[in-house]
Structure 1
Amino acid sequence: MSDFIERWSPNFDERALPISMIVLHYTGMKSGAEAIDWLANAQSKVSAHYVVSEDGQITHMVPEDKRAWHAGKSHWRGVSDINSASVGIEIVNPGHEWGYVPFPDPQVASVVRIVHMLKDRYSVTRGNVIGHSDIAPTRKQDPGELFPWDELARRRLALPRPTKKLTDPVWTDAGFLLALERFGYDVTDGFAATVAFQRRFRPELIDGTICGECRAILLALLLPQPEGN
């Protein structure tokens, strides 16, 4: 798209897998300019394909056919080389370390725009439009509980949070973690995986406690979705 700014990063290599995921991050730095400079710095050894500023400006930093270095040690639905399998989008926000704030409407609109473009281009399923915390629950919190996933979900760009006709399957905690692993999470650290799940699908209470509501939400997510999983 011609209105994207180009600021190329040297931090990429060749993909080993086809694109099947879109991973959303927040930059977690004091400013967008600082974040973009860092992603463009060869010494940082990190990068993303796109950065979305607060005003909605999109900066293209790594060609989509190349493997950007944004995911780190991560896992989702049986894939551990997330960098090879994904397009990484950094969303400018100070994050939890520097004063986490809501995402402005123009920024969210641009995230919707670029996710829509990428989802169509690579036939990414809604369940593979995910946050950094989903793929790295022991290390990451982004894009965080303030990110409006519902804006993507109502446009069929991400899985919606189930809210209707929820039934608690009354799993044991071990059963919940097995179901969470089936959904896609790395449950090596069960508490961290539960926190990540809550941050995404029950953000009003993130305490790592497995409860009836969490079990019911997860069960609903595992069932066939009208618009696909």
Structure 2
Amino acid sequence: MPHPWFEGAATPRVLAHRGLVTPEDAAGGIAENSFAAVAAAHSAGAAYIESDCHLTADGVVVLFHDDDLSRVTGDPRRVADVSSHDLEALMAARGGLITLRQALETFPDVRFNLDVKAEGAAEPVGRAVAAHGERVLLTSFSDARRLAALAAAHEAGGSIRPATSAGTRTIARVLAAVASRSDRLVARALGAVDALQVPERQGRLRVVSPRLIAAAHRHGVEVHVWTVNHPDDMRRLVDMGVDGIVTDRADVALATLA
């Protein structure tokens, strides 16, 4: 049985990467992962929104990608060293700060794909999503952080575990297993994940291939590719068999893949 996160939504899946910020929005100062960006993705019709989780100095889980504020706000401080009140003030002119709690409560029909970016955020993220497990997928480059967040959701009494996608170490195991042509090793590597969320290439290494997609599908695991912004690449990857496209331009992807 597929996890509820996958059920009843159109495929190929379009995952709005950090919400949606059009060139016009960006020119107006709107930032990724802001309240406005999430609202824009929702308004465009995105069923799935991909975002990132950090923890502020006062223990609030916020949707924010970088470890520090410099790229988005020009402030050099780390997210972990800033209070949610101060971060709210910094984001006020950039589309508004959005916390994880606000995202889950304000957009009850959105399915969230949450990347746990900081070790300290894992347990608070898990606790926050415990009551929303049917519409949350938890991931992280760190398998340890991903598993810690899943464990926290379980310990918080969630009736449905969040879906999950593989961290870097698990992805490496999957790629090695596919290269070995051992379906037993592939099954073992994929046994605890619902999706592989990967770039098409990592440097000179091709990650996404028909063989990888076929192996994942044999074991009931979807393949989502990030970050894909050109319509021709979207079509090509979907024709190859991928199940989802993670994109900065959810509006373009929804029109292209309709």
TM-score, structure 1 normalization: 0.33
Query: Which protein has the bigger strand share?
Result: 2
Please identify the structure whose Cα radius of gyration is greater: 2
TM-score, structure 2 normalization: 0.30
Query: Which protein has the bigger helix share?
Result: 2
